[in-house]
A and B are shown apart, each in its own frame.
Chain A
Amino acid sequence: MRCLVLGAAVLAVGAGAAPVFRALDVELPFNARMYPALGRGAPPPEAINNNCLACHSIELVMTQPKLTRPEWTAEVTKMRSTYKAPVDPADDAAIIEWLVAMSAKTTG
């Protein structure tokens, strides 16, 4: 039980004894969700799914406030130029179209 292990460690350090460092080997959850289709006639999610799933899961994109086209363009640019994400420049327009369309649906 994790709680019992932590409780024992609290006593150890609190008493001034040397803390006990146990090796950790944990498993992180994985979110396999892809960026969703937005409906008939809307920009398709293929480009963003091909480029924007390797480094981060989708939640932070999906929880942005309603951003403008220049703001989304700046985000895509930052991912490539600053964070060196291997985004195919040929896909920029399609990624940004999807982001702008997704963002337009944002509601409180």
Chain B
Amino acid sequence: MTDRRQFLAAVAGLAASPARAQKTVDLHLPGGPSARPMTTAFPQKAAMILQRTTPPLLETPMAVFDRGIITPNELHYVRWHWSFPTAVDPAAFRLKVGGAVATPLSLSLADLVALPRFEITAVNQCSGNSRGLVQPRVAGAQWGHGAMGNARWTGVRLRDVLDRAGVTPGAVAVRFAGLDTPLVDDAPDFAKSLGVDHARDGEVMLAYAMNGAPLPLLNGFPLRLVVPGWYSTYWVKMVDSIEVLTEADHGYWMAKAYQVPANPTANVAPGTTDFAKQPISRMPPRSFITSMADGARLAFRAALPVGGIAMGGDSGVRGVEISGDGGANWVAAKLGPDAGKYSFRRFDAVVAGVRGPMQLMARARNMAGDVQPMQPNWNPGGYARNVVETIHAALA
């Protein structure tokens, strides 16, 4: 058998030496493998959960989300499909705007900074966040819940850039690509597109700063697209190309990858592969108890504090309910300060402590009235999970 130590040694690139035992985390993925090494080896990043070294996949530890609703840049998760430059000269960087426009543009960062500044706080969440929890299990990056982060994004409205170029009547979509490149000729370059009205909605933006600082290289320095309320697959990193299209984008990353069942909950019966598909888009509400870890063993308290973070998806958080008994009874949580409808929002509640095992749950409702379901969705990509999650704790 590949035991846990051998496995960790294999994935961490370290000798299986007890003298160099390294910190690991257990993501509690049903059926495993569940252990992951922590890493501090990545530039501009603090201690992250290592999912893959090349191209990097780094997950944020859940404890980070208990410290505040803003995820620090050095702890914001990382996900790359292809190879990308490790050296970027911001003085030489240019954003090209072309396609169906009156005036093609080549904009420097100074040009962008000179445009009206726009800021928004928004959750950046991988389409496959929590995929490792999906049952029956599916192939793909086996994330826990930490392929997400919340930041204050600073930059310019995409609309302002498109209006400077002058979108031609008849344009239907806007495609974005970055400095990342496939390692193999003919492989599909990563590019995503939005409908032209969405692209010009005044909220979709080009961010040159994140929580007041330039973006870490691994999060898309010097410029990334921010699509509030939509999954991160659209938030193109190191974006250097904007192309206005007069027909829908039929490229691989829009027409073949990141497809979900064409129904409101992205749900099909487990095992189904033949179903009507559509590109993943807006996010549904989610919530996570962060004041205790799954599997925690705690001292008994008659009044047990339970806190965490919620997101409304593409509308704000209306409310969060907490259950300490596996969903039989619920209490309304108190919401923390509102940082905008696309942000995480803190919640806190108190439930009755019980000696022995407890199943703690949080359930968020957004301003559109969507509520997290008690039953999980399933699709073969493991996308768009938003079931009510359970924290198993034991009080003694």
Interface residues of A (CB under 8 A from B): 2, 6, 9-14, 16, 18-33, 36, 38, 54-60, 62-67, 71, 74-75, 82-86, 102, 105-108
**A26 and B43 within 8 A (CB):** yes
Min CB gap B111→A, angstroms? 12
Q: What separation, in Å, do the CA atoms of A84 and B183 have in the docked complex?
A: 9
Number of interface residues of B (CB under 8 A): 64
- Residues of chain B at the chain A interface (Cβ within 8 Å): 1-2, 6-7, 10-13, 29-34, 36, 39, 41-44, 50-57, 73-74, 86-91, 109, 113, 117, 132, 137-139, 141-142, 154, 182-188, 208-209, 211-214, 217, 221-222, 252, 256
Chain B residues in 8 Å Cβ range of A12: 212
Q: Is the CB of B43 within 8 A of A28?
A: yes
Query: Residue of A at shortest CB range from B90?
Result: A21
Give the contacting residue for B2; candidates A60, A64, A105; CB below 8 A.
A105
CB <8 Å contact, B32 and A10: no
Contacts A26-B87, A36-B10, A57-B53 given; indicate if A65 touches B211 (C-beta within 8 A): no
Q: Tell me what chain B mostly uses at the interface: helix, strand, loop, or mixed.
A: loop
Question: Beyond A9-B212, A10-B212, A60-B141, is A26–B184 a contact (Cβ under 8 Å)?
Answer: no
Q: How far is the CB of A17 from chain B (nearest CB, A)?
A: 10
Closest beta carbon of chain B to A101's beta carbon, Å: 10
Residues of chain A within 8 A of B2, CB atoms compared = 36, 38, 102, 105-107
Given contacts A21-B208, A29-B39, A62-B10, contact A107 B32 (CB under 8 A): yes
Partner of B31, one of A71, A84, A108: A108
Among A20, A55, A59, find the residue whose CB has the most chain B CB atoms closer than 10 A: A59
Inter-chain contacts of A32 with B (CB < 8 A): 13
**Sample of 12 A–B contacts (CB below 8 Å):** A11-B212, A21-B90, A23-B90, A26-B86, A27-B86, A30-B54, A31-B53, A58-B11, A60-B51, A74-B139, A82-B187, A108-B29
What residue of chain A has the Cβ atom nearest to residue B184's Cβ? A84
Distance, CA A30 to CA B51, complexed state (A): 13
Q: Is the CB of B208 within 8 A of A63?
A: no
CB contact under 8 A between A84 and B214, given known A2-B44, A60-B52, A108-B31: no
Do A29 and B41 have beta carbons less than 8 Å apart?
yes
